Every structure is written in structure tokens, then in C-alpha cells.
A and B are shown apart, each in its own frame.
Chain A
Amino acid sequence: MAKSSKSFLAKVWRVLSGYEIAVVTMFLLLILTWLCTLDMADRGIYTTVHAYYDIENFFVQPHYKFNPLPLYLPGGFWVCALLTVNLICGGIVRVIQYRRKGLHKYIGVLLAHFSMAALMISGAITSIEAKHAHMTVVKGETSDYAQRYTEHSIEVVTYDDAGKHAEPLVIPSERMQWIKKNWENTRLFEFPDLPFDLEVGGFRRNAVIVPTKSEAPVSAEGQFEVDGVFLKAVFDESQEEANSGGCYVKVIEKESKKETYLILSTAVFHPVTVTVNDTIYGLRMLREIWPMPYVVQLDETEGEYYPGSSKPKSFMSEITRFKGEESRSFHIEMNEPMRSDGYTLYQAKWANPEGAEPQSTFEIVTDPASRWPEYCLWVAMVGLCIHFGTSLAVFVMRSTKSKSTKQPTTKQSMTQQGGAE
């Protein structure tokens, strides 16, 4: 039994560390990348990258011209995960083999090999943890927030008698993912600090609010009237930023159990209200807001396009970052971001509207592994330099040694033959 177990594990190890897995996974990644690129042109980057490479998707059905292909492939994230396991296991096998021959001779190769495994792991961390938002600032003005164009949150504010409100309670975008998968999905959110709870559902990725006097809601599609209007799904835009998400919300009062329905939409730029226990509450769904830990002032900005085209040549910004009493200037341009407080600001867009000051849009990224690819490539370069350097040195030394041992034999033979001398 023990012998059988050991050989079984050995077989598993052999498979996980073998070249076969590496070849198959790389081939799958090639196919996935190709199909994703084709699909992206129709369905947009946001939809396809999530469909092909999200951790939640174990399988993907590629589409072409919006039509699903009769084919299911393993999800890209899990193919990469298997390749990473293979790289690590294969690397360990090599270490064991090289120990017999002298590990120091192969240190360069091993450095390069494991740096590639680390690069794959950094990709996984980025895939799971990275978040993106955008901040647009007009020249001479400031901004203290960023906005995630592709993620939605729901906010609830409490109005005082002067019509003002304090900090909103937030249902974060991560908690909206289940609801956004299908309009039939609902989720109950409990608010311990409020006299009501919310049930959210009926989410549509791109929707318009339609008066019932012009069109009747279709109950089979989850449409129903709220205050004379209903939420109607329309064709999804390929650019996620162009979609106006909408959902139905049921306000459930804790004491009376009274239920009030509301429609929330990112196309509505203000809260809708409900009064509970003589207090007015505002609710809205919006593209998620990130309060920044500092204020950005755009001091100067310039942009240049290639002549006769809309292709950007160079965008640059001079900003001042205010953090409490401290202020510091930064220069940001394409491929030269600013890194501060866990956020990286990339120069993303630039615009110069007629009759107005120019403005810069920064893409803001939080990613715990943002610099890993750079470090991994440095390590790989060092490893390869060591390997090729030592190989070259060994080759030169052997060549020199070989020449020095051969030369006397050549002279002797020439003398014997009555040669040049």
C-alpha cells in the first residue's frame, strides 16, 4: 500500500513538473489570447478580459462577432495558475538535478527560471487585487477623489432639517458583483445604523428609465413600475464607461415592515429619496468614488498629437500634491507615473476644450504587485547575464587551454616534415 502511494505521488509530481504541462498550458494561453483579442474588438475590453481571465471563471466560451463559438476552454487565470505550479515544480526538479553537477554552475538559469514563476505570481496578485480609477482635473483646479468608471456602488445619506447630509453609508462595488451577474439575482443589505434595510436586484448593465405612459413594463424581464417609470435594458456598449447601469431597490422598514420600491441608475446624478420615521434618506447608485489620501492640483499640462491624427504623442502634467500641511510637486507624463501612498497615478488622457482650460485625466491604480514585473525582469536579466557570462568565460578558458596544449605538437610535426623553418 505504501509503495503504491509513493509511486502515485511520484506520478503526480512527474506530471506537474513535466514539459508536457508547460507546452499544453502555453499553447492554451496562445489560443486564449488570440480569441480574446478578436472578441475584444466586438464586446469591449472590460467584458472580455473578465470573461477570459477572471479567477471566478473556470471555463470560458469564446465569442466571435457576438456569437458564442461551439467551444469551451479553461479559464485563463487557471491556465496561468497551472503553468506557475509547473514552473515551480520544474524548477525544484532542476535544483535537485543540478545539485549533483554543481549548483553554482546553474545559479543564473535558476534565477531566471524562478523570476519567471514570480512574474506569474505577480500577475495573479494583480488580477485579484488591482483596482483602477480615474481622476480628471482642470488646469488650476484641484481634486480629492477618483472614480471607478466600471464599478458601481450604492450610497445612502441621511438629510438633516437644513437639507444637508454627512458622510454616506456605502455598499461597495465588491458587494455588488453577485447582483450584477444576472438581473434575477438579489441581495439583502442590513444597515444597523438605519431604520431600514435594502434589498437590491434587477440590475441591468445598460438601462434607461422609461415612463409607463409611453411604454408598458414587461414583467417577464423583471420590469415593473415605480412612480410612473420602469427600468428597461438596452444594448450593452462595448466601452464599459458608456453603459448606464440601473437596478431596483426595495426599502424595508424595520419597525413597520413597509416596503417602498426605488429605481437607481448611474444616469441619474442625484439621490432619490425616501422618508422613514420622519427623516429623509437619499439613495443613489454611482460609479464608485474613491476619496484620495491627498489633494491633487493641476499646475500645468500639455498635450501633443501626431500630426494629422488623434493618436497621442505626448501628454504631460505638473501637479502639486497636498497632504495635510505638506505639499510637493511632481511631473507626470506617459510612462512616467507618480507613486504615492499606495496609489500610482498614470497620465491617461488630455483634453483642451475650446474656450476652457485644458484638463488632464489620470488613471489611478492600487496594486500590491505593481513593481513585481520590473523586479522580476531585473532578476531574470541578472540571472541570464550570470549564466551567459559564465558560459562564455568557460568557453574562452577552454579554448585558450586547448590552443596552448595543441601548439607544441604542431611545431614538432612541421620540423619533422622539413617545414617552414
Chain B
Amino acid sequence: MKHHYLILIFSLCLPLVSCQDESQTVEITGKRRLTDYDQQSDSFDFISPKDWRRVPATRFRELNFKFGKDGEAYFSRANGSLLENTNRWLKQYGQEPVATLESFPLVDFAGGQGYLIEADGDFRGGMGAASRSDWGLIGVIASVGESTIVTVKMVGPKEEVKAQKDNFLSFSESIKGR
């Protein structure tokens, strides 16, 4: 008699414990239709270079990319004037400040034009970044409206930055706000 109870209890428990292996591999082929969410979820349209990888945006980097081992490229907004921000960048590389931006070339940027700034040398650090030697900077800076500055900046080992210049300029030109 007792073993009947055991068989019953075991039979009742069997379906409860014979669960599917949750860790098994799953094949994914399902897609979902594009919705309004896809239009709203990103603030920009752009074409990024294939050897760049987009990483999470931060508070000060609305578009944030990395390339190579230490290379970075990012789109930001800044306060102050075009001249103030340009001189800050130059100072970070030990270069003399400029009195005017006229010597810098204009390039296509975010539907308009911006000043192309280049610098290299020993990066003195700042804004939370550590100092680096043999570092390079290529950046574009432009004003939007009366008091907003927008920039796209690429930093990293000098040779890597130089090699990415064409990619950088194409990317800068492609940026469009939604």
C-alpha cells in the first residue's frame, strides 16, 4: 500500500521537475515591424565609419565612438564661444592660443560648416582625462543659434588619428539632427 503512495507522489512530482533546460541554445529569426519608436529613439542621423564602434552615450558625449585601441570620437555641445573652446583644445596640446579662427579651414558639418582644428603632441589632460604623449586631435567646431556650440572631436594616438581623418570628415558632414 505504501509504495502506491510513493508512486503517486513521484508521478505528481515528475511533470513539475522535468522542466526544459533553460540554458539551451536558442535560434533567433523573428523580427518586429518598424514603429514610431524607431523614429524617436535616436536624436541624430549619421553615417559612421565601418571601423568605428558606437559605445554608450554619456552626459557630455551625445554620439560616442571608439576606434582602434584608444581612439575616441564624439559629438558634444559646449558653452562659451568658438574661440574660447578652440583655444582650450590648443592649450591641451601645448599650443599657443589664437586671436581669430580665420586661419582654420571651414568644412561641412551637421548641415552647415564648422572650423577644422588639428593639433598633436603631448596631451596635458583635463576634463577628467589623463595626460598622454604623442597624442592627436582633429575636431570641428561650429555655433548653432546664439549661444550653443557644437563640436565633433577625435582624439587618440597621433598616427591612428591621422589615419582616421577622412573617416572623421565624412562622419562630421553626415551628422543631421532629427
Contacts and interface: CB of A to CB of B under 8 A. Distances in A.
B75 to A, nearest CB: 12
A274 B129 CA distance: 25
A178 B23 contact: yes
B48 A163 contact: yes
A358 interface: no
Contact of B56 (A12, A162, A268): A268
B66 A289 contact: no
Contacts, number: 117
Contacts of A282: 54
B54 A163 contact: no
Interface in A257-289: 263, 265, 268-275, 278-280, 282, 289
A147 B35 CA distance: 11
B51 interface: yes
A8 B42 contact: no
Given A5-B4, A187-B23, A227-B66, A168 B31 contact: yes
B27 A187 contact: no
Interface in B1-37: 1, 4-5, 8, 16, 22-37
A193 B66 CA distance: 27
B174 interface: yes
Interface residues of A, number: 56
A227 B69 CA distance: 9
Interface stretch (A23-31, A87-95, A137-145, A390-398): A137-145
Nearest to A186: B23
Contacts of B41: 269-270
Given A169-B31, A265-B56, A280-B50, A147 B66 contact: no
B57 interface: yes
Interface string A150-193: 00000100000111001111111001011001000111111111
B47 A162 contact: yes
Interface string B37-55: 1000110011110111111
B130 interface: yes
A255 to B, nearest CB: 17
A383 B128 CA distance: 75
Interface of B is mostly: loop
A171 B1 CA distance: 50
Contact of B26 (A175, A270, A271): A175
A191 B26 CA distance: 9
A39 B8 CA distance: 35
A273 B56 contact: no
A61 to B, nearest CB: 18
B54 A272 contact: yes
A170 B46 contact: no
Nearest to A175: B26
Given A142-B36, A169-B29, A270-B41, A163 B47 contact: yes
Contacts of B29: 169, 191-193
Interface in A213-267: 213, 227-229, 263, 265
B77 to A, nearest CB: 17
Nearest to A162: B47
Nearest to B55: A227
B8 A275 contact: no
Nearest to B4: A8
A58 interface: yes
Given A270-B57, A291-B32, A145 B37 contact: yes
Contacts of B5: 8
B32 A167 contact: yes
A189 B1 contact: no
A169 B30 contact: yes
A209 B174 CA distance: 28
Interface string A291-317: 110000000000000000000000000
Interface in A115-155: 142-145, 147, 155
Given A8-B1, A272-B55, A163 B46 contact: yes
A275 B53 contact: yes
B28 A171 contact: yes
A190 B28 contact: yes
Contacts of B47: 161-163
Contacts of B27: 189-192
25 contacts: A8-B1, A142-B36, A161-B47, A167-B31, A168-B31, A169-B28, A169-B29, A170-B30, A175-B26, A187-B22, A190-B26, A193-B29, A227-B53, A265-B56, A268-B56, A269-B42, A270-B42, A275-B50, A275-B53, A279-B50, A280-B50, A289-B37, A291-B33, A291-B35, A292-B35
6 residue pairs, one from A and one from B, having the closest CB atoms: A178-B22, A145-B35, A163-B47, A273-B54, A167-B31, A291-B33
Given A273-B53, A279-B50, 18 more contacts: A143-B36, A144-B35, A163-B48, A177-B22, A181-B22, A189-B26, A189-B27, A190-B26, A192-B29, A213-B128, A227-B53, A263-B56, A271-B54, A272-B53, A272-B55, A273-B48, A278-B50, A291-B33
